Amino acid sequence: MDSLKKVGIIGGTGPESTVDYYQSIVTKYQEKIGTKEDLPELFINCINMYKMFDLLMNNQTQKLIQYLTDAVKKLERIGSDFVVFSGNTPHIVFKEVQQQVQVPLISIIEETCLKAQEFDIKRVGLLGTIFTMENDFFKNPFISVKKEIFVPNQSEQEYIHRKIVEELQNGIVNTETKNQFLNIINEMVRREDIQGIILGCTELPLLIKNKDLNIFSLNTTDIHVNKIVNCIFGD
């Protein structure tokens, strides 16, 4: 089908979620097209998440913008019709990168915000890397549509970030870590009366499933992939 769009994926942030993106896109594409004997045309450019984290830790924002812009331009040159970051953290410079490239970028944050509006969630919690939780790039779209968004306290944030980097981004799923994450979510329900939780790191669904929660779960990976597949078909 010549009318189908080609998606470019900035992967490696981290590798586990890149694999999940690929498999999920293929599965949802085949469901939509109605056959398992067809595959979407996509390109993956894996960057180094440790370099990205290092640039963020050292406040080298301009270098990060250039690093991600160069990665997107490679996908642009080989024919991608649109590009996505397969991670939440790179969205910290999403707008700046979009200004540097011609190809449209599809935001995981905007799509998650739309889903929160669809569910009419007014008070929502946010889990992710320390960069996602302590900065405003994820929070601002929610605040702009009158949503209240909350993050864990400082010690909880540090614990979550450490476990994401040391375990989840290496494909390690630990039961004790899962229980601690669920305890943090339950504490946020108690403290902030949140109605939903954003799994704002694309590795978090490896650990936390819908059945584990008594509140709405906004799985950013799943939300993003649904939008990506719709865009492949031009929807």
Q: What is the pLDDT of residues 112-165, one digit of tens each?
A: 999 999 999 999 999 999 999 999 999 999 999 999 999 999 999 999 999 999
Two tokens, residue 234: 């031009």
Low-confidence ranges of the chain (pLDDT < 50): none
Specify the residue for token string 């909880």: 156
Q: What is the per-residue pLDDT for 16?
A: 83
Q: What is the per-residue pLDDT for 205?
A: 92
Burial state string for 19-29 with b = 16 or more CB within 10 A and e = fewer than 16: ebbbebbbebb
Q: What is the per-residue pLDDT for 17?
A: 86
Domains 7-107+223-232 and 109-219 share a fold: yes
What's the CATH number for 109-219?
A: 3.40.50.1860
Q: What is the per-residue pLDDT for 13?
A: 84
Q: What is the per-residue pLDDT for 235?
A: 83
So where are the chain's domains?
7-107+223-232, 109-219
Q: What is the per-residue pLDDT for 96?
A: 98
Global confidence as pTM: 0.92
Q: What is the per-residue pLDDT for 1?
A: 55
Which residue, 5, 234, 8, 232, is CA-closest to 105?
A: 8
Distances (CA, A) of 38 to 26, 29, 50, 80, 109: 9, 9, 35, 19, 29
Q: What is the per-residue pLDDT for 8?
A: 98
State how far the Cα of 103 lies from the Cα of 137, in Å rounded to an integer.
21
Distances (CA, A) of 111 to 3, 68, 197: 24, 20, 15
CATH architecture of 7-107+223-232: 3-Layer(aba) Sandwich (3.40)
Q: What is the per-residue pLDDT for 171?
A: 87
